[in-house]
Structure 1
């Protein structure tokens, strides 16, 4: 039987490709995160030198268990790793998953990379995995992320209080969003328009 890594596809667009995360991506992830010192962000968890091994191990363990598909985001023009993202909370019985753990090097932000990466993930979720629900969760304090998720066409569902404890001990309230299968054609059309611009 093929390994979970072998079953995880590479998703390719015009600007970026999403490759299955491997242990060998350790140094490339650290370099991507160093662009903006993203490990200092208070509302998301980005790997630094102290945490990268556990970050990768957790992702790969989730893939082996069939609940996570972790990716590195690679800029196609130069093959450079510029971030990471994943499907997680993958529930094939109820046909739902969450897109999360997404971060991009500071220099890759506002470049179109995030929009295309989300388009690739959403297309795969709805059109290949046949999901009926894709959800997103972000920190209540992360205004940029909240605005970006709404721009995708997701609907805000509510705030989950004290949803997780952050590395600094803060009890995080999280905002939950979703896109459901009947909404996907409109979301898809809007994303294609945005990417064409």
Structure 2
């Protein structure tokens, strides 16, 4: 079983997701009514319990490490992210299920959260590969992943069925261990400039 750590940066803290976080997640998702987005899945009031239960089930199975994203300045939960598809034997995982309240978007929060996750993945878990997957239609997410320094690998057709029934094509990206030192240096420079 994986123990989900607490990762603390300057502006953000990633702490393990728990059942008691449901009200805070609903409040964060209400900031922009994110549950109405068609290119990602963000839990609304009716879905948050199942969202958390599925994450915690994966945590117990050792394939998921779910986090809430907390803005340190206010102590408020502003979103969620997780390591998932954790594969210890092949030293790889995916960073995903990431969403932020509208007021926390376009701030240093996402960059620092990804920096903390990538640092933990490569330097503590000794990963050789970290991947990201997003909806082909989600231009904002695709651009943000590329800004991290990830490389686009391709499009996985009809990779999943979205809640509205749409067959989603997903874009796959990755950062490998050989690229991490350069990616780390560029992210550190970006965070200093924010």
TM-score, L = length of structure 2 = 0.98
- Could you tell me which residue of structure 1 aligns to residue 152 of structure 2? 156
- Could you tell me which residue of structure 1 aligns to residue 9 of structure 2? 13
**Alpha-carbon separation, structure 1, partners of 2:73 and 2:108:** 13
Match of 1:182 among 178, 186, 191: 178
**Alpha-carbon separation, structure 2, partners of 1:127 and 1:139:** 28
Deviation at 1:97, TM superposition (A): 0.1
Deviation at 1:8, TM superposition (A): 1.6
- Could you tell me which residue of structure 2 aligns to residue 25 of structure 1? 21
**Runs of 4 or more consecutive aligned structure 1 residues displaced over 2 Å after TM superposition:** none
- Could you tell me which residue of structure 2 aligns to residue 110 of structure 1? 106
Aligned residue pairs, count = 193
**Alpha-carbon separation, structure 1, partners of 2:39 and 2:59:** 24
**Alpha-carbon separation, structure 1, partners of 2:161 and 2:35:** 16
**Alpha carbon RMSD of aligned pairs, Å?**
0.7
Q: Which runs of 5+ in 2 are unaligned?
A: none
2:87 counterpart of 1:91: yes
2:179 counterpart of 1:170: no
Aligned residue runs from structure 1 range 139-154, under 5 A: 139-154=135-150
**Alpha-carbon separation, structure 2, partners of 1:103 and 1:128:** 24
TM-score, L = length of structure 1 = 0.97
- Could you tell me which residue of structure 2 aligns to residue 50 of structure 1? 46
Question: What SS does the corresponding residue of 1:182 show, helix, strand or coil?
Answer: coil
Question: Per-residue displacement from partner, 1:26-83 (whole Å, max 9, x unpaired)?
Answer: 0000000000000000010000011001000000000000000000000001100000
**Alpha-carbon separation, structure 2, partners of 1:71 and 1:14:** 17
Question: What SS does the corresponding residue of 1:134 show, helix, strand or coil?
Answer: strand
Q: Which runs of 5+ in 1 are unaligned?
A: none
